[in-house]
Amino acid sequence: MSKVIKIRRGLNIPLQGSAEKVLVRLDRAETYGLKPTDFPGLVPKLNVTVGERVKAGTPLFHDKYRPDVVFASPVSGEVLDVRRGERRVILEVVVKADSGDLEYENFGAAPADSLKREEVIAKLLKAGAWPYIRQRPYGIIANPADTPKSIFISCFDTSPLAPDLDFAVQGEEQAFQAGIDALRKLTAGKVHLGLNADFPPANAFAKAKGVEFNYFTGPHPAGNVGIHIHHVDPIAKGEVVWVVNPLDVIIIGRLFLNGIYDTTKVIALVGSEVAKPRYFKLISGAAVSSILAKNIKEDAAVRIISGNVLTGTRVDKLGYLGFYDNMVSVIPEGKKHEFFGWIAPGVNKHSATRAFLSKLIPRKTFRLDTNMHGGHRALVLTNQYEKVLPMDIYPVHLIKAILANDIDRMEQLGIYEVVEEDMALCEYVCASKTEVQAILRKGIETMIKELS
């Protein structure tokens, strides 16, 4: 085993409702949705109209500025609806799935090793699998014209209630390796797998060939790919690194193994408001109602989140699983007043500080709600953010540079190395209730605009 990188700073939030390792196979959901809002900065252009028949792999929309990048339907069926929001922004393209066997577009099975780099890229683009490849800096869909210096895959997730990816990739060894083979074609550098040093990794990861293993141990965000990049092969100005989620590597692998766009994956349904938190095998983009049915504790006002509680997207009961998300979290809403809550001992409150009695109870798990626990204030405390961001970066100074819209300063302070998920904990711990993730995205958008 190679050197283990110890992550010392960070924070694990012990929430109630982690998923039991039971895999539930579901009937196909009635509808599937693809949300352009899952892709920051994307301007979508529709390829289909309502009522049109599509196969799994048929493009539903594409990127206005890079028409090659298409977003494909995960199932075959009929386009049911295009939901729009303010100023006619496309929010969701909904497909009603066939009830029988799915029809797939055929992209031709061919091992990546037999293809040239351009052919691999063309195939990924055509099948709608390209958006699974994202780039750092900025955390946006990779540019097919770039050559990344390396590709990073984090094979474990340390976020609150995160699914056990070792469990989720069981039986997918072949597809995972096929995906790795395809990715290896894309970079002149290495393909890095980030593994959890504390547990023996699944075979799909441990026996992967042609990759570099890096082991990490420590609290969240130790599993974030951005942290891995920072510690293994940091991004300097002008460099590009690509990242892929391991479950998406499998989807890419199937494209080369079987020639079809098959987005079946194992996700976790978690959270204190879930009656039986478990793993589900489903097709990406499934309506969340298909897994929530009769599985939510009664009479509770709940928030359903596609993704984890720190970075996920809020969806309503009729919403859809996000493109990149491997979990659905359900937590209580916190719309209630608390009498003298700021001085209460706080046995059931979680905090990174030790200002609450709950710190004295070892191994306590929490049922946290969505309350802000205080009003928005100017930044007063220091060393809160630093304690949960294991990077050689001054997060408060970076945030202030973004607020001041100082582009040089943002660049100097390392905006290329972080995306929202890396600084999500900063937002969690902030006593002044600063919207760190929104500010960071604003800074990233400024950088994209100014440097292109």
Partner 1 sequence: MKALRNYIDKIKPHFQKGGRFGMFHSTFDAFETFLFVPDTVTTKGSHIRDAIDLKRTMSMVIIALMPAMLFGMWNVGYQYTLSIGASWSFWQTFWFGFLKVLPLIVVSYGVGLSIEFAFAQVRGHEVNEGFLVSGLLIPLIMPVDVPLWMLAIAVAFAVVIGKEVFGGTGYNVFNPALLARAFMFFAYPSHMSGDKVWIAGLAKGQGVIDGFSGATPLANAAAYQMDKMPSAYDMFMGFIPGSVGETSTLAILIGASILIITGIGSWKIMVSVFGGGLAAGLLFNAFAVNPYMQIPAWQHLIMGGFAFGAVFMATDPVTASHTEKGKWIYGFLVGFLALLVRVLNPAYPEGMMLAILLMNVFAPLIDFYVVEANIRRRMNRTKKVVNS
Interface of this chain with partner 1, residues 333 to 372, rule: CB under 8 A: 333-343, 346, 349-356, 368-372
Interaction residues for partner 1, span 40-79 (CB under 8 A): none
Site string for partner 1, 280-319 (x = CB under 8 A): -----------------------x-x---xxxx-x-----
For residue 437, what are the CA distances in angstroms to 298, 355, 389, 421?
A: 32, 25, 13, 8
The residue whose two tokens read 């010392």 is 8
**Is the CB of 250 or the CB of 410 nearer to partner 1?**
410
d(CA 354, CA 370): 21
d(CA 120, CA 57): 16
Residue pair 289/31 in contact by the 8 Å Cβ criterion: no
d(CA 348, CA 303): 19
Residue 8: both structure tokens together: 């010392």
238 in contact with partner 1 (CB under 8 A): yes
**Is the CB of 181 or the CB of 427 nearer to partner 1?**
427
Residue 371: both structure tokens together: 């309350």
Instruction: Name the minimum Å distance from CB 363 to partner 1.
Output: 18
188 in contact with partner 1 (CB under 8 A): no
Closest CA to 278 of 68, 22, 11, 4: 22
381 in contact with partner 1 (CB under 8 A): yes
383 in contact with partner 1 (CB under 8 A): yes
Taking CB under 8 A as the criterion, the residue among 94, 436, 444, 447 binding partner 1 is 436
d(CA 155, CA 411): 29
Residue pair 324/265 in contact by the 8 Å Cβ criterion: no
379 in contact with partner 1 (CB under 8 A): yes
380 in contact with partner 1 (CB under 8 A): yes
438 in contact with partner 1 (CB under 8 A): yes
Instruction: Name the minimum Å distance from CB 206 to partner 1.
Output: 31
Give yes or no for a cis peptide into 44 (omega within 30° of 0).
no
Q: Is the dihedral of CA 222, 226, 227, 231 positive or negative?
A: positive
Size of the site for partner 1 (CB under 8 A): 75
Site string for partner 1, 5-44 (x = CB under 8 A): --------x-x-----------------------------
Instruction: Name the minimum Å distance from CB 346 to partner 1.
Output: 6
Interaction residues for partner 1, span 195-234 (CB under 8 A): 234
**Is the CB of 154 or the CB of 329 nearer to partner 1?**
329
